[in-house]
Structure 1
Amino acid sequence: MDDGNSITTKLLTLLNISATKIGKRKRVDDDFVPAEKLNKRKSVSIATEPPTEKSSEQEDVTAKEVLDDEGGISGKDEVEAVNDDEDDGVSHRKRLITLLKPFFTLDPTDAYERHFGNSSSVLSESSRGFVEQNIWKTSREKLGKLGPAVISLPPSADAPVVTTGNDILERLKAPFIAKQAEQPRNQTELQNDLFTTLSSRRDLYLTSTPLESRRCIREVIALHALNHVTKKRRRVLKNNERLSHAAKTNPEAPPPEDVQDQGFTRPSVLFLLPFRSSALNWFHALTSHTPSPSYQIENQSRFVSEYGLPSGAVDKLATAEPGTYPPDHVETFKGNVDDNFRVGIKMTRKSVKMFCEFYGCDIIMASPLGLRRSIEKEKNADYLSSIEILVVDQLDALTMQNWEHVKFVLSHMNKLPKESRDTDFSRIKPWYLDGNAAYLRQSILLSAFETPETRSLFNSNLKNVAGKIRTEKRWNPVEVPDGIDQNFVHFDCVNPNDEAEKRFNHFTTQLLPTVLKSAVQSSNTVVFVPSSFDFIRVHNFFRKHAGVPFTVLSEYSTNQDISRARQAFFKGSKSFLLVSERFHFYKRYKIRGIRNVIFYGPPDHPQFFTEYLSYPYLDEGVESSDVTCRVLYCKYDWFRLERIAGTEAAVELIKAS
């Protein structure tokens, strides 16, 4: 124990002796156990249990442990509770409390307290007004290994982009630093820059997360979430002790007024993920910061069983020879890819408890579909009312699912709850009661690339008054086989609402008729359609009007359908093959027999462009002159066009249109 803690212990001992001598008030008993529900309080003090055997769910937090934690409780109320007519013993005790006060006072420079404290320093009427009107002042800055970024702040916000240093508890920092010593330096630098940015409590949108960096990024964000939960829980436990101590020492006095430390419900962190395998990855990242034997992980075997592959199952993606499947496909789809799940995680001082019910947990991991079904079944989303950190991972994968599920879940975030659920309203932070939680929630978005949907989410749904940060990337052209002539076909569109109609009209009245007139291009032709809605429309057109033999591959095709379609196209009995991007995203089949490729729009995944222009060479004797490529685009295809043609070439294509 260091000198500071030794002094603290001595002062506490003197304080207890003094209180015992005068026979008036004692410090709360060392066996005091806070109630299991952090946001429930009976009468003045928190409900306690007799100091007999303690279950694994109870947390023994003594005054000594409180002082060992970073931060502390204020001695102000205890000083004011002393009457003017106290005797000398009480005066002596008052002096001791004054000496103790520095050990109990909140650190006003703590980034967590500045942002999420009961009187947030970043929340103001003007900042909320600017955010609601979508008025931001923007600047560009390089954030170390995160690269160039656009920083958006309300005009009333402070200029600095990030805090200096990492806002992390000491007991979490030490093992993390030790772990970093065993990894490459560039990963450590990336993690440090990321953690510094997260410590600003600003929203962060990483628009390009390479495969090789995803694990180390997960570890930092998981540590940031654990740090947040731990700080919040410590504040609650310390205030629990204050209230219990105040009730014992002076039962007739009103309880302290500055103990607002909670939301309406307990969950404060939400991970929104596409697959069960994603949840398993985040679970491993989270528990990597809670090492055994100091931490116990309850229901771990059940979680691994339900979120991993069934016993005896073989993952053909993970066990296949390198190169059999593209690396991004293996990373996305190895493991359990069920997209309907939700699980609550409770963090205590010495354990991680899986499968806790939502109103008793700290962290929720769920898929958009899983949460939507839960919300619709219970007809409320009260457990999302107090989320302070939102992490949405693999946005690129979520856009390939049903994006409406994501929008539905986010529309229920940080709303006033429909039921009180035994909430102690005297402990709720004022900005929750005022309905301002959404203005302080920190959202962290991760994606391999940007889409209009994800940019709209960043622009419209993130209202953090501390500001928001979006990383930028300059794309290089994708690699395609030499000699293939890439023909980018532009169509005019001045209103984004007309884009689907304009694209369809140009395809059916100009591009397709030109192709059908050519004897060479009217066979062995693939039409690749990025949007599922456009795919249905094009499919119906071919079925009713095209007058050519065709077949289809969509995400709804059965294995038999897929086999028949591939065979028919390869043998030439079907001249056209319609392929949806979702089909290729989920299945990643190699298609033989291709000579002509028509991209109804640039694909979201740039690697798909490369792959479809490489498939003709699966057949022997194919030359580059035998392959044609057309890409239909307008100015609203900017994100997809940039990833394929490269940033500089995409600018020229848009200007020339």
Structure 2
Amino acid sequence: MKRIHLKSSNGTKNVTETKKPKVIDFFSDHFCKNLEDALSEKVNAGAESSKKTLKSDLFEDCNVTVNSTAASHIHCTNPSKIYDLDELNLNPKILQNFLNHNKDVTEEQKELYQIIGRYMDLCLISDRKDYLPLLSLHVVNHLTRTRDAIIESNAKLEKQSKSGESTDEKLVEECRDQGLARPKPLLSLHVVNHLTRTRDTIIESNAKLEKQSKSGESTDEKIVEECRDQGLARPKVLFITSMKKYAYEFVHALADVTFAEKDKRTIMNSQRFEDEFGDTGYVPPSKRNEDFRELMSGNIDDCFRLGIQYAKKALKLYQKFSEADVLVCSPLGLRMIVGEEGEAEREVDFLASIEIVIVDKTNQILMQNWEHLQHILDEANGMPSKLEVDISRVRHWSLQNLGKIYRQTLIFSEFNFTELHALYASACKNYAGGVFIVKSPEPILDMIEKPLIQEFHRFDCDIPKYQSDLRFEYFTKNILPSLEHGTLIFVSSYFDFIRLRNYMKKEGGVFIVKNPEPVLDMIEKPLIQEFHRFDCDIPKYQSDLRFEYFTKNILPSLEHGTLIFVSSYFDFIRLRNYMKKEGESFVQLHEYAKDKKIARARGMFYQRRKKLIVMTERFYYFKRYFIKNVASLVFYQLPVNAKFFIELVNDSSPEGRLESKVIFSKYDFFRMQNIFGNEQAKQLIKSEKKFHALVSE
């Protein structure tokens, strides 16, 4: 019994049933099973877990490790047992759309889907880029299945209600489908499949319940239990990536799998999405390396979050997270609202029922802020603070706070690194187990063009957390004393760099950091530059002390036409809230502001309808707008990029000399050095006087 693929007149594949194939339903096998308490405790504790190397023809030139748990036997978790795509109970329409856009599905893609489709965890370390469509299919199919299950459950409960019979406990269990809060090609296949399955499950449960209600009969508990097929919140899929250009590709991959070629694509807020996530046209200079030009071309914004609601005939972008099915975010963008435990305004309940987490471009995220990613994954699948839905529709394992061991986590990286293994160990707790795939790296020594003597020095370390200490000890005792003039020391970790730098300063070692050239000669305006230093001995208090100094000594004396430049977004939020509370006349420019609000703020400041304008460094970095009618400047903290200081000074339009104020502490030395030079920065930092003025013609 099998399904035959026929070619249509336009050359695409059509799915035509001649004989019914054997169907494997991993969606139901994984999410519709309640683990016994003893078994779930073993999975949580890591008891009876094991790992083995997979020896098969799968993933040629790769090292494949399969991790099993005490519950991995619940359904078929052997990825070497191959099923065709039409044997995996995928929504026929979604599968057809996938085949239309991916006419030549490779064996490698099929092999990868043997893991993804089984709802196992996955960490793939490879430079391959063909997984996006499959993931989209998987996710949309998953959501459709969930929706259909709810519709079916509603019908069951409705039928039971009309029959007048007492509630059937078994039916209640089957109908648990609701939450506690309102609810690339390979990747797109998986995502769309998951969305579709989720949606279909919900629709099916709703139909059962509605039918039961109309019958006028008492609720059958059996029907109610059958309709338990939802989680703790509506969002089911979390896609994390490093830049907007990759989020753009993922959303379009979702659309490819969702809509047939002949159908009209209904995507709400599509123009706004194109404007904010589309290609910016930026390309780095040709003198840069090709890999850098590819990485940094296009829309490289790393702070974003997008909620997508999946409807039967539409994708609705920019939905509230509590009403979205798919969340597309960068680590920074999501961390901004997740915040820290104990914060009053943090939002985290929408992460309570994430069933699929996809972390893409993980090696790029390592270069951004790794801690943000770790924090987000730690917060996912917790219990929400408020219960706002019908508990009888929630799956038992969700109510038992077992979401982390049912969640599928998929991680993709171009490179292998230690932090990635630690992330896999801490975040991937799926009871179905997981697969870790590492493509064997190509040797690169043939690319070296110079005669080379390469020494290797190994230090012993049995406990990972001590490796930084032991590496430092080995280097300072065995390597540093013998180094000669002209040696470059490459340090991967910034924290190791700080430690080594401080040691070499203390020991009188010689190491070179090129002193930046002062940029004051580039100033074209007559300038009165005031320097206001505040004392701070403990780094973590500098934000508080800077704020206190500004609000007491600077803000009260500011006049119309003053631009306040704030380097940190968090300092900006604090300052903005204070100025609102105090009734200050000001407008704001920050990186998350919409274009209309930006234009309005600039206009009001230009027309002198507002006294002050407050701008963040990230806004200026991404926008570089010329702010008209600036009469004076205040640098709440100097910019990291010295050119920003020069540009803001030169673009000002005072009636006479420009007045500029800089607030600084000893921890701003490098920012001061970049602009005013090494000697002047030292004098300002070490001077007994806290106030200085510099007058230039």
TM-score for the superposition, normalised by structure 1: 0.61
**Do structure 1's residue 204 and structure 2's residue 122 form an aligned pair?**
yes
Q: Structure 1's 384 and 298: CA in aligned 2 closer, same or farther, altered over 3 A? A: same
1:550 aligned residue: 512
Q: Deviations over 1:61-86 (max 9, x none)?
A: xxxxxxxxx9xxxxxxxxxxxxxxxx
8 Å CA contact 2:131–2:185 kept in 1: the answer is no
Deviation at 1:328, TM superposition (A): 3.6
Indicate the percent of aligned positions where both proteins have the same amino acid. Answer: 28
**Do structure 1's residue 144 and structure 2's residue 107 form an aligned pair?**
no
Deviation at 1:486, TM superposition (A): 1.5
Say which of 290, 296, 318 aligns to 1:333: 296
8 Å CA contact 2:71–2:431 kept in 1: the answer is no
Q: Deviations over 1:128-156 (max 9, x none)?
A: 40442354222222362464411111245
**Do structure 1's residue 536 and structure 2's residue 498 form an aligned pair?**
yes
Say which of 358, 364, 387 aligns to 1:397: 364
Paired amino acid for 1:266: R
Q: Structure 1's 494 and 251: CA in aligned 2 closer, same or farther, altered over 3 A? A: closer
Question: How far apart, in 2, do the equivalents of 1:215 and 1:359 lie?
Answer: 26
Matches within 5 A, 1:18-417: 109-117=24-32, 119-120=33-34, 125-126=38-39, 128-141=41-54, 142=56, 144-145=58-59, 147-158=62-73, 160-162=77-79, 164-166=83-85, 167=88, 168-181=90-103, 183=104, 188-210=106-128, 218-250=184-216, 252-253=218-219, 256-257=223-224, 258-291=226-259, 293-310=263-280, 314-317=281-284, 324-376=287-339, 378-417=345-384
8 Å CA contact 1:274–1:368 kept in 2: the answer is yes
8 Å CA contact 1:176–1:289 kept in 2: the answer is yes
Deviation at 1:411, TM superposition (A): 1.0
**Number of positions where the alignment pairs a residue of Structure 1 with one of Structure 2:** 434
TM-score for the superposition, normalised by structure 2: 0.58
8 Å CA contact 2:266–2:313 kept in 1: the answer is yes
Deviation at 1:387, TM superposition (A): 0.4
Question: How far apart, in 2, do the equivalents of 1:423 and 1:515 lie?
Answer: 67
**Do structure 1's residue 501 and structure 2's residue 469 form an aligned pair?**
yes
Q: Deviations over 1:194-234 (max 9, x none)?
A: 22221111111102234687788721122111111111111
Query: What value does the CA root-mean-square deviation take over the aligned residues?
Result: 3.0
Q: Deviations over 1:24-73 (max 9, x none)?
A: xxxxxxxxxxxxxxxxxxxxxxxxxxxxxxxxxxxxxxxxxxxxxx9xxx
Matches within 5 A, 1:635-650: none
Q: Structure 1's 346 and 552: CA in aligned 2 closer, same or farther, altered over 3 A? A: farther
Q: Structure 1's 294 and 212: CA in aligned 2 closer, same or farther, altered over 3 A? A: closer
8 Å CA contact 1:203–1:464 kept in 2: the answer is yes
* Structure 1: 5+ residue stretches without partners: 1-69, 71-106, 517-521, 562-657
Question: How far apart, in 2, do the equivalents of 1:559 and 1:209 lie?
Answer: 42
Deviation at 1:466, TM superposition (A): 0.8
8 Å CA contact 2:235–2:321 kept in 1: the answer is yes
SS in 2 for 1:144: coil
Deviation at 1:528, TM superposition (A): 1.2
Question: How far apart, in 1, do the equivalents of 2:391 and 2:264 lie?
Answer: 34
Q: Structure 1's 242 and 155: CA in aligned 2 closer, same or farther, altered over 3 A? A: closer
2:581 aligned residue: none
Question: How far apart, in 2, do the equivalents of 1:362 and 1:412 lie?
Answer: 18
Q: Structure 1's 298 and 559: CA in aligned 2 closer, same or farther, altered over 3 A? A: farther
Paired amino acid for 1:149: V
Question: How far apart, in 1, do the equivalents of 2:402 and 2:310 lie?
Answer: 26
The runs of 4+ residues in structure 1 deviating greater than 6 Å are: 212-217, 557-561
Q: Structure 1's 476 and 188: CA in aligned 2 closer, same or farther, altered over 3 A? A: closer
Deviates more, 1:473-482 or 1:337-346: 473-482
Deviation at 1:289, TM superposition (A): 1.2
Paired amino acid for 2:300: V
Deviation at 1:502, TM superposition (A): 2.4
2:669 aligned residue: none
Q: Structure 1's 139 and 123: CA in aligned 2 closer, same or farther, altered over 3 A? A: farther
8 Å CA contact 1:143–1:149 kept in 2: the answer is no
Paired amino acid for 2:273: F
Deviates more, 1:241-250 or 1:426-435: 241-250
SS in 2 for 1:288: helix
Q: Deviations over 1:438-462 (max 9, x none)?
A: 1111110101122211101112221
SS in 2 for 1:485: coil
Q: Structure 1's 371 and 139: CA in aligned 2 closer, same or farther, altered over 3 A? A: same
8 Å CA contact 1:145–1:189 kept in 2: the answer is no
Deviation at 1:325, TM superposition (A): 4.0
Question: How far apart, in 1, do the equivalents of 2:130 and 2:199 lie?
Answer: 34
SS in 2 for 1:414: coil
Question: How far apart, in 2, do the equivalents of 1:263 and 1:558 lie?
Answer: 58
8 Å CA contact 2:98–2:133 kept in 1: the answer is no
8 Å CA contact 1:265–1:423 kept in 2: the answer is no
Q: Deviations over 1:533-580 (max 9, x none)?
A: 011222333444344361159xxx99989xxxxxxxxxxxxxxxxxxx
Question: How far apart, in 2, do the equivalents of 1:560 and 1:486 lie?
Answer: 41
* Structure 2: 5+ residue stretches without partners: 1-16, 136-183, 521-697
Paired amino acid for 1:392: V
8 Å CA contact 2:283–2:296 kept in 1: the answer is no
Q: Deviations over 1:250-289 (max 9, x none)?
A: 2554573121121111100001111222211211222221
Paired amino acid for 1:413: A
8 Å CA contact 1:267–1:358 kept in 2: the answer is yes
8 Å CA contact 2:130–2:185 kept in 1: the answer is no
2:623 aligned residue: none
Deviates more, 1:259-268 or 1:501-510: 501-510
Q: Deviations over 1:399-420 (max 9, x none)?
A: 1122111111111111111111
1:446 aligned residue: 412
Deviation at 1:526, TM superposition (A): 2.0
Q: Structure 1's 294 and 191: CA in aligned 2 closer, same or farther, altered over 3 A? A: farther
1:570 aligned residue: none
Question: How far apart, in 2, do the equivalents of 1:560 and 1:455 lie?
Answer: 44
Say which of 515, 523, 527 aligns to 2:483: 515
8 Å CA contact 2:356–2:408 kept in 1: the answer is yes
8 Å CA contact 1:131–1:154 kept in 2: the answer is no
8 Å CA contact 2:134–2:191 kept in 1: the answer is no
8 Å CA contact 2:236–2:325 kept in 1: the answer is yes
Q: Which structure is richer in relative contact order (CA contacts within 8 A, separation 6 or more)?
A: 1
Paired amino acid for 1:397: Q
**Do structure 1's residue 461 and structure 2's residue 438 form an aligned pair?**
no
Q: Deviations over 1:337-392 (max 9, x none)?
A: 22221110011000011100011110001112222211126334111110000101
Question: How far apart, in 2, do the equivalents of 1:294 and 1:228 lie?
Answer: 22
Question: How far apart, in 1, do the equivalents of 2:191 and 2:131 lie?
Answer: 19
